[in-house]
Amino acid sequence: MRSKHRILVLDDEPNIVEVLITRLEVLGFPVQGCTSAQKALDILRKEEFSLLITDMKMPDMDGMEVLRKVKKIDPDLEVIIFTAYGSIEGAVRAIQQGAHDYLVKPFEPVELVVKIESALEKRELKQRVKYLEQEVEDRLDHRIYAQSSAMKRVLSLVRQVSQSDATILILGESGTGKELIAKMLHYESTRRHAKFVIVDCGATPSSLIEAELFGYRRGAFTGAVKDKRGIIEEADSGTLFLDEIGNISAEMQTRLLRVLESGEFRPLGDIGQKKADIRVLTATNVDLKKKVDQGLFREDLYYRLKVITIQLPPLRERKEDIIGLSQIFLTEFSSKTGKRIEGIDREAMDLLLSYHWPGNVRELKNIMEAAVVLCTTGTITPEEILSSGIFERTGNVPHQELNILDTQEKELLLQALKKARWVQKDAAQQLGISRRVMHYKIKKFNLRPERSD
């Protein structure tokens, strides 16, 4: 810990500064010293330190004034003040003004080390708290990035309905961020201090969902050796988010409808009803209305779930968000891997912008993670983007829509190439893309000049 924390020592007596520097360097601390308060302030404006050790009384500026000025420069800088026995009152005032601690001259070296370690631990704790607070903010805000008008409309609707207890059905393709929207609805509601519980109805076998949601009594079925509270009871006063709601069985649909209408449920094996005060949010990437028409989903439950509907646009319909989301994921994975990657070059970004994104934001995140891992320079290039097989994917984009998009893109490329007499550089210039991206597009669509007979 010591080697990463720089310490600045300030005292108008050079011999004291020298002694402290020597002692602290032996202990493994990077130390710098000065005998002028003004010089110390100048240093702090230009360089980063974790701790300032300063004398209380100096000819050009007293310790209290130094403290006030350094806290304006760096509010997180820890300060320890030296004081003579007769000026302890001033040291106490300094602590009240933000100093970490004080030392009375003369002091024992071990006392100095203890106070330094305490100050540095406090600084690390504050930095950790700040980091975690920022991380929470990032998770709730930055991941739901919205520069496109389509996504801005979604977030506006979310904020408008978050205070309501109405059931909300969130629709969207896989990877569009339905769970994040559900979290936002919870954390911006009056229920935010209670639990937010997620049940993935697509990943949980239907035989287990009932027991998980409603709980059970001992002996209710084979393996039920003790009573277990259900998720609905656990989520009391909070929010229950049922993802992939279209996968639940007919029996579960009936039981869920009862919960929504009366707030009552019955644990498996129990003879009595229980009540729960929960808000229910659901999500799906399938056409529930079609399932209703096919007799696979209860119509009354369908309308009960969709009191309010939030439709999330696929990433291909919010192209304006791709640049910002890419930068966010780049920063996240650069930090995790310890790599210093400055950005994404224009050709790589052109590739990201031209792709259809069948896996939506989740796919973009995965591709950026792979690109960061593979990057050996300070910039993401097309090579890192293409290594993920980005152009081979079709995912869950409707086949007809994908064909239309590809046909339109292919036609534009052919028109530009014919106009440029198949000179790739000129065709790329017409379309506003780089030669490298043009080369990739020609390869993607297997384009060749027509042979003249």
* Domain of residue 380, CATH code: 1.10.8.60
Instruction: Point out the domain boundary residue: 312, 342, 376.
Output: 312
Same domain? 375 vs 424: no
Query: Structure pTM?
Result: 0.60
The pLDDT of residue 404: 53
Mean pLDDT over 375-391 rounds to 82
Last residue of a domain, one of 392, 407, 431: 392
Residue 39: give its domain's CATH number: 3.40.50.2300
Give the tens place of pLDDT for each residue, 193-207. 888 999 999 888 877
pLDDT, one tens digit per residue, over 34-57 is: 999 999 999 999 888 999 999 988
Give the chain's mean pLDDT: 87
On whether residue 431 sits in a domain, the answer given is yes
Residue 265 lies in a domain: yes
Give 65-68's long-range contacts (Cβ < 8 A, gap of 24+). 65/37, 66/10, 66/37, 66/40, 66/41, 67/94, 67/97, 67/98, 67/99, 68/97
For the purposes of burial, counting CB atoms within 10 Å of the CB of 174, is it exposed (0-12), middle (13-18) or buried (19 or more)? middle
Is 51 contained in some domain? yes
Q: Are residues 338 and 298 in the same domain?
A: no
Q: What is the pLDDT of residue 405?
A: 52
Residue 243's CATH number: 3.40.50.300
283 and 320 belong to one structural domain: no
Asked whether the predicted pLDDT for residue 247 surpasses 60, the reply is yes
Residue where a domain stops, chosen among 119, 136, 153: 136
306 and 173 in a common domain: yes
Provide the pLDDT confidence category of residue 218 given band limits of 50, 70 and 90.
confident
List Cβ<8 Å contacts ≥24 apart for 429-437.
Answer: 433/350, 433/354, 434/346, 434/347, 434/350, 436/347, 436/382, 437/347, 437/350, 437/351, 437/354, 437/382
In a domain, 450, yes or no: no
Residue 138 has pLDDT above 60, yes or no: no
Domain region containing 324: 316-392
CA distance linking residue 248 with residue 265, whole number of Å:
17
Asked if residue 371 and residue 327 are part of one domain, the reply reads yes
Claim to verify: residue 325 and residue 305 sit in the same structural domain:
no
**Mean pLDDT, to the nearest integer, of 294-310?**
97
| Residue 452 counted as domain residue | no
- Determine, yes or no, domain membership for 144: no
- Answer whether 116's CB lies under 8 Å from 137's CB: no
Shared domain check, 273 and 230: yes
Strand 279-284's sheet: what is its strand order? Answer: 196-200, 239-243, 279-284, 168-171, 308-311
pLDDT band at 243 (very low <50, low <70, confident <90, very high): very high
Q: Are residues 245 and 307 in the same domain?
A: yes
Q: Which of 21-35, 121-135, 232-246 has the lowest mean pLDDT?
A: 121-135
Q: What percent of the chain has pLDDT over 70?
A: 91
pLDDT of residue 438: 78
Count the domains in the chain.
4
Query: What's the residue count for the chain?
Result: 453
Long-range contacts of residues 380-386, Cβ cutoff 8 Å, at least 24 apart: 380/330, 380/341, 380/343, 380/344, 380/345, 380/348, 381/345, 381/347, 381/348, 382/345, 382/347, 382/348, 382/351, 382/436, 382/437, 382/440, 384/348, 385/348, 385/351, 385/352, 386/351, 386/440
CATH number assigned to the domain comprising residue 404 = 1.10.10
Domain match, 181 and 308 both: yes
Residue 396 binned pLDDT confidence (cut-offs 50, 70, 90): very low
CB 92 within 8 A of CB 106: no
- Bridge partners (DSSP) of residue 240 are 197, 280
Residue 146 lies inside a defined structural domain of this protein: no
Question: Token match 């930095």: residue?
Answer: 127
Q: In the beta sheet, which residues pair with residue 249?
A: none
Task: State the pLDDT confidence band at 452, using cuts at 50, 70 and 90.
Answer: low
Tell me whether residue 147 is in a domain: no
- Same domain for 323 and 301? no
Same domain, 24 and 114: yes
Is the pLDDT at 340 greater than 80? The verdict is yes
Q: Do residues 181 and 254 share a domain?
A: yes
